[in-house]
Amino acid sequence: MSMNNQGRPTGIEPENRRRAVAPGTVTAEEMATISGDRGLDHEEKLIFELDHGATGVDMPDVQVAEDRLGGMRRKGAIGLPGLSEPEVVRHYVRLSRMNYAIDSGLYPLGSCTMKHNPRLNEKMARLPGFGDLHPLAPAAATQGALELISQLMTWLTQLTGMPAVAMSPKAGAHGELCGMLAIRAAIQARGETRPRVLVPESAHGTNPATAAFAGFIVDEVPALPNGRVDSAALKAKLGPDVAAIMLTNPNTCGLFEGEIIEIAKAVHEAGGYFYCDGANFNAIAGRVRPGDLGVDAMHINLHKTFSTPHGGGGPGAGPVVLSDRLAPFAPIPLLVADGKGLRLIEDAADAPEGAKPFGRMCAFHGQMGMFSRALTYMLSHGRDGVRQASEDAVLSANYILASLKDVMSAPFGDGPCMHEALFDDHFLDETGVTTLDFAKAMIDEGYHPMTMYFPLVVHGAMLIEPTESESKESLDSFIHVLRALALEAKAGNTARFAGAPRLAPRRRLDETAAARKPVLRWKKPEPMKEAAE
């Protein structure tokens, strides 16, 4: 191998390359290092274990001789570690390198829509006019922010074909709660009591949790062998005590509920409301309007369909579009336009005629930082780009389904899927390899696993959502690896599964031990002297 003048290898002979990375060819002894670190992979202590009394922020040391703290001044230290800026930066950079990310590879988590997060979104959200704007600044100082919210509302109502939208919910589950509280208020306004909510067994866990949170009793509806909700069973459960159904469409099996319009009609005829979980809007945005399906309320995960970053688990945003029947019950704040411009109605008593807000979801007005990112994404795509993105997402999922269904088992693989392809663990029968093993083996191959064991309606589920962000080459590499893994499992080469992952920053972690004796925070080690006593 030759080197260029910057010391980089200009070519790697395939033979050497294979030897260097092939599992089993490097002995544990060869891998052992003096430091415990391995090349670019550093072990990193907890920030508390790096404490040496430094500080990473320079500030004047003002002493407050006569405070006005009402006698409530802190007596003891907090116990925070002290480090300089370079140490803090290095600590978090090292931690970051232990994470998988969309930016570094395909992230096929079904139901999570791990699409590309454009950096323009980040730049726009950080414009001081948005990022450094106080939520209670006078209306005259916030007209641009209110206009941005108004534009985003237009996009959301246009794309969904719904007349109204509540912007304050802070994530998908919070949006579900908002929708269900609007339904509750609407039923109360009719002078009725409807305690039950129908939820298909394939639903996201947030659906039954939300229904219970909003004070309803959850009644499960079974799925049919074709992966759709059993509409006959659903209709049989309808009655004067049913407040709503909560249905995901496309559903969590990655399938469109074809009878949706009739189901909505039946629910409405029985006096109930149709809550649609919008987690899978990325399959249909720009092609299908939920309003045309009979939906009364649907949250939109801006962090899924509209590319605001997932950030390791949040923040998200979950605006809820509402039908005419539910719009009057939208929570405060409400955005209105009058002669002087846009303003927020922050008190229910000031609501316009006909509006009966059910309450307030949170302080202030929602996830503005996510709104600016989502609007940036929408303006970038345009209506044509949004539609193309949905179609590419569906095309990519079907391409994966078509390319894997002969070696893996696709319970609903006879027809097309929407934006995610569902497999079960039938193809692993008799191999001794589980869905979990299979997923962990993907980690060694450089991939984040798909969603595992969800939805619950198939055994050992593997739900793959490639999104529209992958090139064909990237999809082909992924397919190649999954095919090879499936064949390996069937051929009885199970060692690579049982021990996986071997090449990640950690081997499999003991989750049972973590739950049995929870250690949820660092504690200062006892001094040696006391320990000896």
Partner 1 sequence: MRYLPLTPDDRKAMLTKIGAASVDALYRDVPKAAQVGLSVFDLPDTQGEMEVERALTKLAARNVAAGQAPFFCGAGAYKHHVPASVDHLIQRSEFLTSYTPYQPEIAQGTLQYLFEFQTQVALLTGMEVANASLYDGSTATAEAVLMAQRLTKRGKAILSGGLHPHYAETVETVAGLIGQMVRTPVTPGKAEDIIALIDDQTACVVVQTPDVFGLIRNLRPIAEAAHAKGALLIAVVTEVVSLGLLESPGAQGADIVAAEGQSIGNGLNFGGPYVGLFATREKFLRQMPGRLTGETVDAEGRRGFVLTLSTREQHIRREKATSNICTNSGLCTLAFTIHLSLLGEEGMARLARLNHAKASALASRLAQLPGVELVTGSFFNEFTLRLPKPALPVVDALAAKGVLAGVPAARLLPRDADAANLLIVAATETNTDEDFDALVAALKEAL
Binding to partner 1, residues 245-284 (CB under 8 A): 255-256, 258, 260-261, 284
Between CA 38 and CA 478 the distance in angstroms is: 27
Task: Return the residue of 379, 484, 487, 495 that touches partner 1, per CB under 8 A.
Answer: 379
| Dihedral of alpha carbons 233, 236, 241, 247, sign | positive
By CB under 8 A, residue 398 contacts partner 1: yes
CB of 477 to partner 1, least distance (A): 13
Beta carbons of 295 and 320 less than 8 angstroms apart: no
**Of residues 234 and 370, the one with the C-beta less far from partner 1:** 370
CA distance 484 to 407: 9
- Please enumerate in sequence order all residues whose Cβ is within 8 A of that of 455, keeping only pairs 6 or more positions apart, or say none: 202, 251, 252, 253, 422, 461, 463
Quick one: which of 131, 152, 146 has its CA closest to 371?
Answer: 152
Residue 359 near residue 334, CB atoms below 8 Å: no
Q: Does 93 bind partner 1 (CB under 8 A)?
A: yes
Q: Write down the least CB distance from residue 60 to partner 1, Å.
A: 6
Q: Does 97 bind partner 1 (CB under 8 A)?
A: yes
- Should residue 71 be labelled a site residue for partner 1 when binding is judged by CB under 8 A? yes
Nearest residue to 433 via CA among 355, 483, 497, 379:
497
CB under 8 A: which stretch of 2-10, 142-150, 229-237, 270-278 binds partner 1? Answer: 142-150
Q: Find the part of the chain contacting partner 1 (CB under 8 A) among 14-22, 238-246, 270-278, 384-392.
A: 384-392
- The set of residues, in sequence order, having a beta carbon less than 8 Å from that of 340 and lying 6+ positions away, is 139
Choose between 316 and 460: whose C-beta lies nearer to partner 1.
Answer: 316
Closest to partner 1 by CB, 173 or 458: 173
Would you tell me the crossing angle of helices 472-490 and 368-404 to the nearest 10 degrees?
50
Binders in 19-38 for partner 1, by CB under 8 A: none
Among 317, 327, 433, 463, the residue binding partner 1 under the rule CB under 8 A is 317
What's the closest the beta carbon of residue 528 comes to partner 1, in angstroms? 21
Least spacing, CB of residue 97 vs partner 1, in Å? 6
Q: Which stretch binds partner 1 (CB under 8 A): 5-13, 48-56, 238-246, 427-435?
A: 48-56
Q: How far apart are CB 4 and partner 1 at their closest, in Å?
A: 27
* Nearer Cβ to partner 1 (12/89): 89
- Which residues sit opposite 344 in a β-bridge? 335
Q: Which of 106, 173, 330, 410 binds partner 1 (CB under 8 A)?
A: 173
In the shown chain, the binding pattern of residues 200 to 219 toward partner 1, with x for contact by CB under 8 A and - for none, equals ----xxx-xxxxxxxx--x-
Stretch that binds partner 1, among 5-13, 235-243, 267-275, 470-478 (CB under 8 A): 470-478
| Residue from 199, 287, 290 nearest 247 by CA | 199
Please calculate the CA angle 454-456-457 and round it to the nearest 5 degrees: 125
Q: Does residue 328 bind partner 1 (CB under 8 A)?
A: no
Burial 274-313 (b: 16+ CB within 10 A, else e): bbbbbbbbbbbbbebbbbebbbbbbbbbbbbbbbbbbeee
**Choice between 248 and 491, CB closer to partner 1:** 248
- Compute the distance between CA of residue 160 and CA of residue 163 in angstroms, rounded to an integer: 9
Q: By C-beta, is 14 or 71 nearer to partner 1?
A: 71
Nearest to 351 by CA among 338, 365, 335: 335
Binding-site member from 5, 6, 10, 63 for partner 1 (CB under 8 A): 63
Place of tokens 């004796």: 517
Per-residue binding string, partner 1, 416-455, x by CB under 8 A, is x-x--------------------xx--x----xx----x-
Shortest Å, Cβ 1 to partner 1? 29
- Mention every residue, 6+ apart, whose C-beta is less than 8 A from residue 181: 214, 329, 331, 358, 359
The torsion region of residue 26 among left (phi > 0), alpha (psi -120 to 50) and beta comes to: beta
- The reply on whether position 525 binds partner 1 by CB under 8 A is no
Specify the stretch interacting with partner 1 by CB under 8 A; choose among 265-273, 361-369, 426-434, 487-495: 361-369
| CB nearer to partner 1: pick between 9 and 415 | 415
What is the closest distance, in whole angstroms, from the C-beta atom of residue 300 to partner 1 in the complex?
Answer: 13
Secondary structure class of 24 (helix, strand, coil): coil
Buried b / exposed e over 200-217, threshold 16 CB at 10 Å, is bebbbebbbbbbeebebe
**Single residue of 29, 30, 67, 338 touching partner 1 by CB under 8 A:** 67
Report how many residues bind partner 1 under the rule CB under 8 A. 207
Min CB(276)–partner 1 separation in Å: 13
DSSP 289-310: -HHHHT-SEEE--TTTTT----
Residue window 472-511: x/- pattern of binding to partner 1, with contact defined by CB under 8 A: x-xx-----------------------x-x--xxxxxxxx
Rule CB under 8 A: is residue 340 a binding residue for partner 1?
no
- Find where tokens 């939920």 sit: 290
For partner 1, give the closer residue by CB, 523 or 529.
523
